[in-house]
Amino acid sequence: MRIALSAHAQEGTLAVFSADAFEQPSTKAAVSFLDAFGKEAPVVVVVTGDEESAVKSFRNLPRVAVSTPEDLEVTAVVWARSLLVSETALPIVQARATNATRGGEAS
């Protein structure tokens, strides 16, 4: 997991965003957000379960997969051309990557 995340960071295809920007679910706002992000699809968006408006905003877009940090798999990170991680999800993703490196889990 750590290597895949590092690759996205080095290539500039990893971004952290505030899910608070999605106060209400809006697919139109998610499309505008991705257009402004300007990176290639497919995109994996990682948000916590509490960030429901962001989940609903991104989940129906083509070539976009939404995941929680707990469900994020290495294959999804490798598959994605771009990765968006919410500020709230980032520490959880980082902890999982660190845990995996130390042998704490298989991902």
Residues of the chain with pLDDT under 50: 105-107
CB 93 within 8 A of CB 72: yes
Q: What is the pLDDT of residue 64?
A: 98
Predicted pLDDT of residue 74: 94
Residue 99: per-residue pLDDT: 81
Look at the chain and count its residues: 107
Q: Where are the alpha helices (DSSP H) in the chain?
A: 2-11, 27-37, 52-58, 74-79, 90-101
The predicted structure's pLDDT at residue 106: 46
The position carrying tokens 């959880």 is 92
Question: Domain 2-101 belongs to what architecture?
Answer: 3-Layer(aba) Sandwich (3.40)
CB atoms within 10 A of CB 46: 27
Check if the beta carbon of residue 72 is closer than 8 Å to that of residue 4.
Answer: no
Tokens of 98: 């660190």
